A and B are shown apart, each in its own frame.
Chain A
Protein backbone atom coordinates (compact mmCIF):
# COMPACT_ATOMS: atom_id res chain seq x y z
CA UNK A 1 0.00 0.00 0.00
CA UNK A 2 1.26 3.42 -1.00
CA UNK A 3 1.19 5.23 2.36
CA UNK A 4 2.49 8.49 0.96
CA UNK A 5 -0.36 8.72 -1.50
CA UNK A 6 -2.92 7.64 1.09
CA UNK A 7 -1.80 10.39 3.47
CA UNK A 8 -2.25 12.93 0.68
CA UNK A 9 -5.67 11.48 -0.12
CA UNK A 10 -6.59 11.70 3.54
CA UNK A 11 -5.68 15.40 3.67
CA UNK A 12 -7.68 16.09 0.51
CA UNK A 13 -10.70 14.32 1.98
CA UNK A 14 -10.70 16.27 5.22
CA UNK A 15 -12.63 19.12 3.66
CA UNK A 16 -16.12 19.54 5.13
CA UNK A 17 -18.72 17.40 3.35
CA UNK A 18 -20.75 20.46 2.37
CA UNK A 19 -17.93 21.58 0.07
CA UNK A 20 -18.02 18.81 -2.50
CA UNK A 21 -20.62 16.43 -1.14
CA UNK A 22 -18.23 13.64 -0.16
CA UNK A 23 -15.80 13.01 2.66
CA UNK A 24 -13.83 10.11 4.10
CA UNK A 25 -11.31 9.36 6.80
CA UNK A 26 -9.31 6.30 7.80
CA UNK A 27 -10.66 4.32 10.76
CA UNK A 28 -7.61 2.11 11.04
CA UNK A 29 -4.07 3.29 11.62
CA UNK A 30 -2.67 1.26 8.74
CA UNK A 31 -5.00 3.21 6.40
CA UNK A 32 -6.55 0.00 5.04
CA UNK A 33 -10.07 0.70 6.30
CA UNK A 34 -11.91 3.97 5.79
CA UNK A 35 -15.35 5.39 6.46
CA UNK A 36 -16.80 7.73 3.85
CA UNK A 37 -19.95 9.79 3.52
CA UNK A 38 -21.80 11.09 0.50
CA UNK A 39 -24.68 13.53 0.41
CA UNK A 40 -27.71 12.53 -1.65
CA UNK A 41 -27.75 14.68 -4.81
CA UNK A 42 -30.30 17.51 -4.95
CA UNK A 43 -33.46 16.89 -6.97
CA UNK A 44 -33.30 13.15 -6.35
CA UNK A 45 -35.11 10.86 -3.94
CA UNK A 46 -31.88 10.81 -1.93
CA UNK A 47 -31.70 14.59 -1.40
CA UNK A 48 -31.07 15.55 2.20
CA UNK A 49 -29.72 12.10 3.06
CA UNK A 50 -26.22 11.40 4.30
CA UNK A 51 -25.01 7.95 3.33
CA UNK A 52 -22.20 6.12 5.06
CA UNK A 53 -19.82 4.15 2.84
CA UNK A 54 -17.52 1.39 4.04
CA UNK A 55 -14.16 1.50 2.21
CA UNK A 56 -11.56 -1.28 2.32
CA UNK A 57 -8.23 -0.99 0.51
CA UNK A 58 -6.12 -3.98 -0.50
CA UNK A 59 -2.34 -3.93 -0.36
CA UNK A 60 -2.36 -3.37 -4.14
CA UNK A 61 -4.30 -0.10 -3.92
CA UNK A 62 -4.34 2.08 -6.04
CA UNK A 63 -3.54 -0.52 -8.68
CA UNK A 64 -6.62 -2.40 -7.56
CA UNK A 65 -9.91 -0.58 -6.91
CA UNK A 66 -11.08 0.20 -3.38
CA UNK A 67 -13.86 -2.08 -2.10
CA UNK A 68 -16.86 0.11 -1.32
CA UNK A 69 -20.30 -0.63 0.03
CA UNK A 70 -23.17 1.28 1.57
CA UNK A 71 -23.45 0.99 5.34
CA UNK A 72 -26.61 3.09 5.21
CA UNK A 73 -29.57 1.24 3.75
CA UNK A 74 -30.56 2.68 0.39
CA UNK A 75 -33.19 1.89 -2.27
CA UNK A 76 -31.35 2.04 -5.59
CA UNK A 77 -31.20 -0.33 -8.60
CA UNK A 78 -27.39 -0.55 -8.48
CA UNK A 79 -27.06 -1.06 -4.73
CA UNK A 80 -28.13 -4.18 -2.88
CA UNK A 81 -30.97 -3.30 -0.52
CA UNK A 82 -29.78 -6.17 1.68
CA UNK A 83 -25.98 -5.89 1.79
CA UNK A 84 -25.19 -2.43 0.43
CA UNK A 85 -22.98 -3.91 -2.32
CA UNK A 86 -22.48 -1.45 -5.17
CA UNK A 87 -22.47 -2.31 -8.87
CA UNK A 88 -20.36 0.41 -10.49
CA UNK A 89 -17.91 -0.22 -13.33
CA UNK A 90 -15.14 2.04 -12.05
CA UNK A 91 -15.05 -0.01 -8.85
CA UNK A 92 -14.37 -3.02 -11.06
CA UNK A 93 -12.94 -3.26 -14.55
CA UNK A 94 -13.07 0.45 -15.35
CA UNK A 95 -10.88 1.36 -12.38
CA UNK A 96 -7.74 3.35 -13.08
CA UNK A 97 -4.94 3.87 -10.54
CA UNK A 98 -5.18 7.59 -11.31
CA UNK A 99 -8.63 7.60 -9.70
CA UNK A 100 -8.82 8.20 -5.96
CA UNK A 101 -11.11 7.47 -3.02
CA UNK A 102 -12.54 10.93 -3.55
CA UNK A 103 -13.22 10.52 -7.27
CA UNK A 104 -14.68 7.07 -6.60
CA UNK A 105 -17.04 8.52 -3.98
CA UNK A 106 -18.04 11.28 -6.40
CA UNK A 107 -18.79 8.59 -8.99
CA UNK A 108 -20.97 6.73 -6.47
CA UNK A 109 -22.77 9.99 -5.80
CA UNK A 110 -23.28 10.46 -9.56
CA UNK A 111 -24.73 6.94 -9.68
CA UNK A 112 -27.41 8.03 -7.19
CA UNK A 113 -28.47 10.76 -9.62
CA UNK A 114 -28.33 8.47 -12.67
CA UNK A 115 -29.28 4.86 -11.89
CA UNK A 116 -28.49 2.19 -14.46
CA UNK A 117 -31.42 -0.25 -14.14
CA UNK A 118 -30.15 -2.37 -17.05
CA UNK A 119 -27.05 -3.31 -15.08
CA UNK A 120 -28.69 -3.91 -11.71
CA UNK A 121 -27.26 -5.03 -8.41
CA UNK A 122 -30.71 -5.44 -6.86
CA UNK A 123 -33.16 -7.04 -9.28
CA UNK A 124 -36.22 -6.22 -7.17
CA UNK A 125 -35.37 -2.53 -7.00
CA UNK A 126 -34.49 -2.43 -10.70
CA UNK A 127 -37.81 -4.07 -11.55
CA UNK A 128 -39.71 -1.46 -9.55
CA UNK A 129 -37.65 1.32 -11.17
CA UNK A 130 -38.56 0.06 -14.63
CA UNK A 131 -42.20 -0.80 -14.04
CA UNK A 132 -43.25 2.09 -11.84
CA UNK A 133 -40.88 5.01 -11.49
CA UNK A 134 -43.28 6.85 -9.16
CA UNK A 135 -43.49 3.93 -6.77
CA UNK A 136 -39.71 3.57 -6.93
CA UNK A 137 -39.20 7.24 -6.06
CA UNK A 138 -41.60 6.99 -3.12
CA UNK A 139 -39.79 3.97 -1.68
CA UNK A 140 -36.36 5.52 -2.26
CA UNK A 141 -37.53 8.67 -0.52
CA UNK A 142 -38.99 6.75 2.39
CA UNK A 143 -35.75 4.83 2.82
CA UNK A 144 -33.76 8.07 2.69
CA UNK A 145 -35.96 9.53 5.42
CA UNK A 146 -35.85 6.36 7.44
CA UNK A 147 -32.16 5.47 7.23
CA UNK A 148 -30.14 8.40 5.89
CA UNK A 149 -31.38 11.28 7.97
CA UNK A 150 -30.08 10.63 11.42
CA UNK A 151 -31.10 13.22 13.94
CA UNK A 152 -33.18 15.07 11.39
CA UNK A 153 -36.31 14.21 13.33
CA UNK A 154 -35.82 15.84 16.70
CA UNK A 155 -39.30 14.77 17.67
CA UNK A 156 -38.15 11.15 17.64
CA UNK A 157 -36.69 11.21 21.17
CA UNK A 158 -39.99 11.09 23.09
CA UNK A 159 -40.95 8.00 21.08
CA UNK A 160 -37.63 6.31 21.80
CA UNK A 161 -38.11 7.17 25.48
CA UNK A 162 -41.42 5.34 25.37
CA UNK A 163 -39.53 2.22 24.37
CA UNK A 164 -40.24 2.08 20.63
CA UNK A 165 -37.41 1.15 18.30
CA UNK A 166 -35.84 3.78 16.09
CA UNK A 167 -37.30 2.20 12.98
CA UNK A 168 -40.82 1.98 14.45
CA UNK A 169 -40.60 5.56 15.66
CA UNK A 170 -39.32 6.90 12.34
CA UNK A 171 -41.95 5.09 10.33
CA UNK A 172 -44.73 6.31 12.59
CA UNK A 173 -43.46 9.89 12.40
CA UNK A 174 -43.12 9.66 8.63
CA UNK A 175 -46.64 8.45 8.28
CA UNK A 176 -47.93 11.07 10.67
CA UNK A 177 -45.96 13.71 8.76
CA UNK A 178 -43.98 14.68 11.82
CA UNK A 179 -46.96 15.04 14.18
CA UNK A 180 -45.65 13.48 17.40
CA UNK A 181 -49.10 13.11 18.99
CA UNK A 182 -50.49 11.33 15.95
CA UNK A 183 -47.41 9.13 15.81
CA UNK A 184 -47.79 8.13 19.46
CA UNK A 185 -51.46 7.30 18.95
CA UNK A 186 -50.56 5.25 15.91
CA UNK A 187 -47.88 3.31 17.76
CA UNK A 188 -50.07 2.71 20.81
CA UNK A 189 -52.96 1.51 18.68
CA UNK A 190 -50.56 -1.06 17.28
CA UNK A 191 -51.15 -0.07 13.65
Chain B
Protein backbone atom coordinates (compact mmCIF):
# COMPACT_ATOMS: atom_id res chain seq x y z
CA UNK B 1 0.00 0.00 0.00
CA UNK B 2 1.36 3.39 -0.90
CA UNK B 3 1.59 6.38 1.33
CA UNK B 4 0.33 8.88 -1.15
CA UNK B 5 -0.92 12.03 0.43
CA UNK B 6 -4.14 13.44 -0.75
CA UNK B 7 -2.94 17.00 -0.42
CA UNK B 8 -6.37 18.56 -0.77
CA UNK B 9 -7.44 17.05 2.49
CA UNK B 10 -6.43 17.89 5.98
CA UNK B 11 -6.62 14.95 8.28
CA UNK B 12 -7.59 17.03 11.21
CA UNK B 13 -8.53 20.53 11.94
CA UNK B 14 -6.54 22.17 14.66
CA UNK B 15 -8.97 25.03 14.99
CA UNK B 16 -11.78 22.73 15.73
CA UNK B 17 -12.29 23.01 19.45
CA UNK B 18 -15.53 21.13 19.73
CA UNK B 19 -15.44 17.39 20.04
CA UNK B 20 -16.53 16.29 16.60
CA UNK B 21 -14.10 14.16 14.71
CA UNK B 22 -13.11 15.73 11.45
CA UNK B 23 -11.57 12.87 9.62
CA UNK B 24 -10.89 12.52 5.96
CA UNK B 25 -13.49 10.31 4.39
CA UNK B 26 -11.71 9.60 1.12
CA UNK B 27 -11.28 5.90 0.51
CA UNK B 28 -8.04 6.57 -1.32
CA UNK B 29 -6.37 7.68 1.84
CA UNK B 30 -4.63 5.13 3.97
CA UNK B 31 -5.94 6.50 7.20
CA UNK B 32 -9.37 7.26 5.79
CA UNK B 33 -12.38 5.10 6.53
CA UNK B 34 -13.38 1.88 4.81
CA UNK B 35 -9.83 1.25 3.88
CA UNK B 36 -10.50 -2.29 4.99
CA UNK B 37 -10.90 -4.53 1.95
CA UNK B 38 -14.55 -5.27 1.27
CA UNK B 39 -13.84 -9.00 1.37
CA UNK B 40 -13.48 -8.50 5.11
CA UNK B 41 -17.15 -7.70 5.56
CA UNK B 42 -20.62 -8.01 4.03
CA UNK B 43 -23.23 -5.25 3.92
CA UNK B 44 -26.61 -6.46 5.18
CA UNK B 45 -30.11 -5.04 5.15
CA UNK B 46 -32.77 -6.14 7.66
CA UNK B 47 -34.24 -8.44 5.00
CA UNK B 48 -30.87 -10.03 4.34
CA UNK B 49 -30.60 -10.79 8.04
CA UNK B 50 -33.98 -12.56 8.13
CA UNK B 51 -32.98 -14.64 5.11
CA UNK B 52 -29.55 -15.40 6.55
CA UNK B 53 -31.05 -16.45 9.86
CA UNK B 54 -33.61 -18.74 8.17
CA UNK B 55 -30.92 -20.25 5.98
CA UNK B 56 -28.77 -21.08 9.00
CA UNK B 57 -31.72 -22.70 10.77
CA UNK B 58 -32.52 -24.66 7.60
CA UNK B 59 -28.90 -25.84 7.36
CA UNK B 60 -28.96 -27.11 10.92
CA UNK B 61 -32.34 -28.79 10.36
CA UNK B 62 -30.91 -30.60 7.33
CA UNK B 63 -27.76 -31.59 9.16
CA UNK B 64 -29.31 -32.75 12.41
CA UNK B 65 -32.89 -33.63 11.33
CA UNK B 66 -34.08 -31.72 14.39
CA UNK B 67 -37.21 -29.53 14.35
CA UNK B 68 -36.76 -25.84 13.51
CA UNK B 69 -37.28 -24.53 17.04
CA UNK B 70 -34.57 -26.87 18.34
CA UNK B 71 -32.21 -25.84 15.54
CA UNK B 72 -32.81 -22.22 16.52
CA UNK B 73 -31.97 -23.01 20.14
CA UNK B 74 -28.77 -24.76 19.10
CA UNK B 75 -27.68 -21.88 16.90
CA UNK B 76 -28.53 -19.35 19.58
CA UNK B 77 -26.40 -21.37 22.00
CA UNK B 78 -23.52 -21.60 19.50
CA UNK B 79 -23.55 -17.86 18.74
CA UNK B 80 -25.15 -18.46 15.33
CA UNK B 81 -22.15 -20.19 13.84
CA UNK B 82 -23.19 -23.10 11.61
CA UNK B 83 -19.57 -24.27 11.55
CA UNK B 84 -19.47 -24.52 15.34
CA UNK B 85 -22.73 -26.48 15.37
CA UNK B 86 -21.50 -28.80 12.62
CA UNK B 87 -18.12 -29.43 14.23
CA UNK B 88 -19.66 -30.27 17.58
CA UNK B 89 -22.37 -32.34 15.86
CA UNK B 90 -19.77 -34.64 14.31
CA UNK B 91 -17.53 -34.49 17.35
CA UNK B 92 -19.80 -34.91 20.32
CA UNK B 93 -23.54 -34.94 19.71
CA UNK B 94 -24.45 -35.44 23.34
CA UNK B 95 -22.46 -32.40 24.33
CA UNK B 96 -24.09 -30.33 21.60
CA UNK B 97 -27.60 -31.32 22.65
CA UNK B 98 -26.82 -30.84 26.31
CA UNK B 99 -25.63 -27.33 25.48
CA UNK B 100 -29.04 -26.41 24.09
CA UNK B 101 -30.91 -28.24 26.84
CA UNK B 102 -32.20 -30.97 24.57
CA UNK B 103 -31.91 -34.72 24.97
CA UNK B 104 -30.38 -37.01 22.39
CA UNK B 105 -33.62 -37.72 20.56
CA UNK B 106 -34.03 -34.02 20.02
CA UNK B 107 -36.64 -33.24 22.61
CA UNK B 108 -36.18 -30.75 25.37
CA UNK B 109 -35.17 -32.66 28.49
CA UNK B 110 -37.90 -31.17 30.61
CA UNK B 111 -40.47 -31.73 27.90
CA UNK B 112 -40.27 -35.49 28.31
CA UNK B 113 -42.47 -35.11 31.35
CA UNK B 114 -45.09 -33.43 29.19
CA UNK B 115 -46.09 -36.60 27.41
CA UNK B 116 -49.22 -38.06 28.86
CA UNK B 117 -50.08 -34.76 30.49
CA UNK B 118 -53.24 -32.93 29.57
CA UNK B 119 -54.07 -31.96 26.02
CA UNK B 120 -52.30 -34.35 23.66
CA UNK B 121 -53.95 -34.19 20.28
CA UNK B 122 -55.73 -37.52 20.08
CA UNK B 123 -58.00 -37.50 17.07
CA UNK B 124 -59.99 -40.59 17.97
CA UNK B 125 -61.69 -38.55 20.68
CA UNK B 126 -65.08 -37.07 19.87
CA UNK B 127 -64.30 -33.73 21.47
CA UNK B 128 -61.19 -32.04 22.74
CA UNK B 129 -61.06 -29.35 25.40
CA UNK B 130 -58.77 -26.35 25.07
CA UNK B 131 -57.05 -26.33 28.47
CA UNK B 132 -56.79 -22.54 28.42
CA UNK B 133 -60.32 -21.33 27.62
CA UNK B 134 -61.82 -24.68 28.71
CA UNK B 135 -63.95 -24.65 25.54
CA UNK B 136 -64.89 -27.98 23.95
CA UNK B 137 -64.19 -28.56 20.27
CA UNK B 138 -65.73 -31.20 18.03
CA UNK B 139 -63.32 -33.19 15.91
CA UNK B 140 -63.80 -31.24 12.68
CA UNK B 141 -63.74 -27.89 14.50
CA UNK B 142 -60.57 -28.91 16.28
CA UNK B 143 -58.76 -29.73 13.06
CA UNK B 144 -59.39 -26.22 11.76
CA UNK B 145 -59.47 -24.14 14.92
CA UNK B 146 -56.79 -25.70 17.10
CA UNK B 147 -53.04 -26.05 16.79
CA UNK B 148 -50.40 -28.16 18.42
CA UNK B 149 -46.86 -27.16 19.33
CA UNK B 150 -44.28 -29.48 17.84
CA UNK B 151 -42.04 -31.11 20.38
CA UNK B 152 -44.53 -31.50 23.21
CA UNK B 153 -47.88 -31.99 21.51
CA UNK B 154 -49.81 -29.51 23.62
CA UNK B 155 -53.02 -28.52 21.83
CA UNK B 156 -54.90 -25.25 22.31
CA UNK B 157 -57.42 -23.33 20.27
CA UNK B 158 -55.91 -20.78 17.91
CA UNK B 159 -57.53 -17.86 19.73
CA UNK B 160 -55.78 -18.88 22.96
CA UNK B 161 -52.45 -19.40 21.18
CA UNK B 162 -52.72 -15.91 19.70
CA UNK B 163 -53.52 -14.34 23.06
CA UNK B 164 -50.66 -16.24 24.71
CA UNK B 165 -48.16 -15.17 22.04
CA UNK B 166 -49.44 -11.59 22.06
CA UNK B 167 -48.97 -11.35 25.83
CA UNK B 168 -45.45 -12.75 25.56
CA UNK B 169 -44.46 -10.37 22.76
CA UNK B 170 -45.82 -7.44 24.73
CA UNK B 171 -43.65 -8.55 27.64
CA UNK B 172 -40.58 -8.41 25.42
CA UNK B 173 -40.25 -12.05 24.37
CA UNK B 174 -39.56 -13.33 20.87
CA UNK B 175 -36.81 -15.89 20.44
CA UNK B 176 -37.87 -17.77 23.57
CA UNK B 177 -41.67 -17.76 23.65
CA UNK B 178 -42.56 -21.00 25.30
CA UNK B 179 -45.57 -23.24 24.77
CA UNK B 180 -48.77 -22.27 26.57
CA UNK B 181 -48.96 -25.72 28.14
CA UNK B 182 -48.06 -26.89 31.61
CA UNK B 183 -45.86 -29.72 32.67
CA UNK B 184 -44.85 -31.60 35.77
CA UNK B 185 -41.16 -31.57 36.65
CA UNK B 186 -39.76 -33.09 39.83
CA UNK B 187 -43.21 -33.07 41.34
CA UNK B 188 -43.76 -29.42 40.56
CA UNK B 189 -46.10 -27.81 38.07
CA UNK B 190 -44.62 -25.29 35.69
CA UNK B 191 -44.96 -24.05 32.16
CA UNK B 192 -43.96 -26.26 29.27
CA UNK B 193 -40.45 -25.25 28.23
CA UNK B 194 -40.78 -26.05 24.52
CA UNK B 195 -39.84 -22.96 22.52
CA UNK B 196 -42.37 -22.12 19.82
CA UNK B 197 -41.15 -22.41 16.27
CA UNK B 198 -41.09 -19.07 14.44
CA UNK B 199 -43.18 -20.35 11.50
CA UNK B 200 -45.80 -21.59 13.97
CA UNK B 201 -45.91 -18.20 15.70
CA UNK B 202 -46.07 -16.22 12.47
CA UNK B 203 -48.82 -18.40 11.01
CA UNK B 204 -50.94 -17.87 14.12
CA UNK B 205 -50.31 -14.13 14.24
CA UNK B 206 -51.24 -13.83 10.56
CA UNK B 207 -54.50 -15.70 11.16
CA UNK B 208 -57.65 -14.31 12.68
CA UNK B 209 -57.13 -12.60 16.00
CA UNK B 210 -53.47 -11.83 15.37
CA UNK B 211 -52.35 -8.25 14.90
CA UNK B 212 -49.96 -6.97 12.26
CA UNK B 213 -48.35 -4.74 14.86
CA UNK B 214 -47.53 -7.67 17.14
CA UNK B 215 -46.25 -9.69 14.18
CA UNK B 216 -43.91 -6.85 13.25
CA UNK B 217 -42.71 -6.50 16.83
CA UNK B 218 -42.10 -10.24 17.01
CA UNK B 219 -40.07 -10.27 13.79
CA UNK B 220 -38.00 -7.26 14.84
CA UNK B 221 -37.18 -8.89 18.16
CA UNK B 222 -36.21 -12.16 16.47
CA UNK B 223 -33.73 -10.31 14.30
CA UNK B 224 -32.40 -8.45 17.33
CA UNK B 225 -31.85 -11.68 19.20
CA UNK B 226 -29.91 -12.96 16.20
CA UNK B 227 -27.76 -9.89 15.78
CA UNK B 228 -27.16 -9.35 19.50
CA UNK B 229 -26.08 -12.95 20.00
CA UNK B 230 -23.86 -13.03 16.93
CA UNK B 231 -20.43 -11.47 17.45
CA UNK B 232 -19.79 -11.22 13.70
CA UNK B 233 -22.80 -8.98 13.04
CA UNK B 234 -23.41 -5.45 14.26
CA UNK B 235 -26.15 -2.94 13.56
CA UNK B 236 -25.04 0.26 11.91
CA UNK B 237 -24.87 2.77 14.80
CA UNK B 238 -26.27 5.63 12.68
CA UNK B 239 -29.63 6.87 13.97
CA UNK B 240 -32.58 5.12 12.32
CA UNK B 241 -30.33 3.06 10.04
CA UNK B 242 -31.61 -0.54 9.77
CA UNK B 243 -28.53 -1.90 8.01
CA UNK B 244 -25.94 -4.14 9.52
CA UNK B 245 -22.46 -5.38 8.79
CA UNK B 246 -21.24 -8.95 9.05
CA UNK B 247 -17.49 -9.40 9.12
CA UNK B 248 -15.96 -12.43 7.43
CA UNK B 249 -13.16 -14.73 8.59
CA UNK B 250 -10.60 -12.45 6.96
CA UNK B 251 -11.60 -9.59 9.26
CA UNK B 252 -8.80 -8.84 11.69
CA UNK B 253 -10.07 -6.87 14.70
CA UNK B 254 -6.52 -5.79 15.53
CA UNK B 255 -5.79 -4.46 12.08
CA UNK B 256 -4.82 -0.88 11.42
CA UNK B 257 -8.18 0.19 10.09
CA UNK B 258 -11.37 -1.51 11.25
CA UNK B 259 -13.86 0.90 9.73
CA UNK B 260 -16.74 -0.40 7.66
CA UNK B 261 -19.37 1.20 5.46
CA UNK B 262 -23.05 0.25 5.50
CA UNK B 263 -25.33 0.11 2.43
CA UNK B 264 -26.41 3.67 3.10
CA UNK B 265 -22.85 4.95 3.24
CA UNK B 266 -22.46 5.34 7.00
CA UNK B 267 -18.86 4.70 7.98
CA UNK B 268 -17.96 3.46 11.46
CA UNK B 269 -15.43 1.41 13.37
CA UNK B 270 -16.65 -2.20 13.64
CA UNK B 271 -14.85 -2.66 16.95
CA UNK B 272 -16.05 0.31 18.96
CA UNK B 273 -18.98 1.61 16.83
CA UNK B 274 -17.49 5.07 16.99
CA UNK B 275 -16.63 7.14 13.97
CA UNK B 276 -13.66 5.88 11.95
CA UNK B 277 -10.49 6.76 13.79
CA UNK B 278 -7.47 5.07 12.22
CA UNK B 279 -4.65 5.38 12.98
CA UNK B 280 -5.73 5.97 16.58
CA UNK B 281 -6.87 2.89 18.48
CA UNK B 282 -10.37 2.32 19.83
CA UNK B 283 -9.10 2.80 23.38
CA UNK B 284 -7.64 6.17 22.42
CA UNK B 285 -11.00 7.29 21.09
CA UNK B 286 -12.71 6.12 24.22
CA UNK B 287 -10.25 8.02 26.39
CA UNK B 288 -10.58 11.04 24.22
CA UNK B 289 -14.38 10.93 24.41
CA UNK B 290 -14.13 10.73 28.16
CA UNK B 291 -11.70 13.59 28.27
CA UNK B 292 -13.98 15.59 26.01
CA UNK B 293 -16.80 15.15 28.43
CA UNK B 294 -14.66 16.20 31.36
CA UNK B 295 -12.98 19.07 29.62
CA UNK B 296 -14.75 20.76 26.77
CA UNK B 297 -11.59 22.59 25.77
CA UNK B 298 -9.71 19.44 24.83
CA UNK B 299 -8.41 19.68 21.34
CA UNK B 300 -8.74 17.15 18.59
CA UNK B 301 -7.84 13.57 19.52
CA UNK B 302 -5.48 13.39 16.59
CA UNK B 303 -3.30 15.97 18.26
CA UNK B 304 -3.25 14.03 21.46
CA UNK B 305 -2.63 10.57 20.10
CA UNK B 306 -0.98 10.84 16.72
CA UNK B 307 1.96 12.42 15.02
CA UNK B 308 2.61 12.95 11.34
CA UNK B 309 4.23 10.17 9.44
CA UNK B 310 7.69 11.53 8.64
CA UNK B 311 7.41 10.11 5.19
CA UNK B 312 3.97 11.08 3.99
CA UNK B 313 2.88 13.62 6.59
CA UNK B 314 -0.23 11.64 7.27
CA UNK B 315 -1.23 11.21 10.88
CA UNK B 316 -0.08 7.93 12.39
CA UNK B 317 -0.40 6.43 15.83
CA UNK B 318 2.23 7.71 18.26
CA UNK B 319 2.99 4.22 19.62
CA UNK B 320 2.98 2.27 16.43
CA UNK B 321 5.14 4.11 13.98
CA UNK B 322 3.91 4.33 10.44
CA UNK B 323 2.05 1.23 9.49
CA UNK B 324 2.89 1.64 5.88
CA UNK B 325 6.64 1.77 5.80
Residues of chain A within 8 A (CB-CB) of B167 are 60, 63-64
B119 touches A98 (CB 8 A): yes
Residues of chain B within 8 A (CB-CB) of A8 are 134
Residues of chain A within 8 A (CB-CB) of B190 are 89-90, 94, 96
Give the docked Cα–Cα distance between A90 and B182 (Å): 10
A107 touches B119 (CB 8 A): no
**A6, closest chain B residue (CB):** B134
Q: Does A160 contact B (CB under 8 A)?
A: no
Minimum C-beta distance from A46 to chain B (A): 18
Looking at chain A's contact residues, the main secondary structure is loop
| Binary B-proximity of A79-116 (CB < 8 A = 1, otherwise 0) | 00000000001100011111100010011001000000
Residues of chain B within 8 A (CB-CB) of A62 are 132
Q: Does A130 contact B (CB under 8 A)?
A: no
A98 touches B188 (CB 8 A): no
A96 touches B134 (CB 8 A): no
Q: Does A135 contact B (CB under 8 A)?
A: no
Residues of chain B within 8 A (CB-CB) of A5 are 132-134
B134 touches A97 (CB 8 A): no
Interface size class of A (residues with CB under 8 A): 20 to 34
Q: Does A4 contact B (CB under 8 A)?
A: yes
Q: Does A2 contact B (CB under 8 A)?
A: yes
B188 touches A107 (CB 8 A): yes
Q: Does B192 contact A (CB under 8 A)?
A: yes
**A64, closest chain B residue (CB):** B167
State the interface size on chain B (CB cutoff 8 A).
Answer: 24
B180 touches A98 (CB 8 A): yes
Q: Does B160 contact A (CB under 8 A)?
A: yes
Q: Does B135 contact A (CB under 8 A)?
A: yes
Residues of chain B within 8 A (CB-CB) of A4 are 133-135
Q: Does B189 contact A (CB under 8 A)?
A: yes
Minimum C-beta distance from B190 to chain A (A): 4
Give the docked Cα–Cα distance between A90 and B191 (Å): 8
**B178, closest chain A residue (CB):** A96
Given contacts A63-B167, A64-B167, contact A96 B191 (CB under 8 A): yes
Q: Does B289 contact A (CB under 8 A)?
A: no
A residues near B (Cβ < 8 Å) are 2, 4-5, 8, 60, 62-64, 89-90, 94-99, 103, 106-107, 110
- 10 A-B residue pairs with Cβ-Cβ distance under 8 Å, sorted by A, are A2-B133, A4-B134, A8-B134, A63-B164, A89-B190, A96-B179, A98-B118, A98-B131, A99-B191, A110-B187
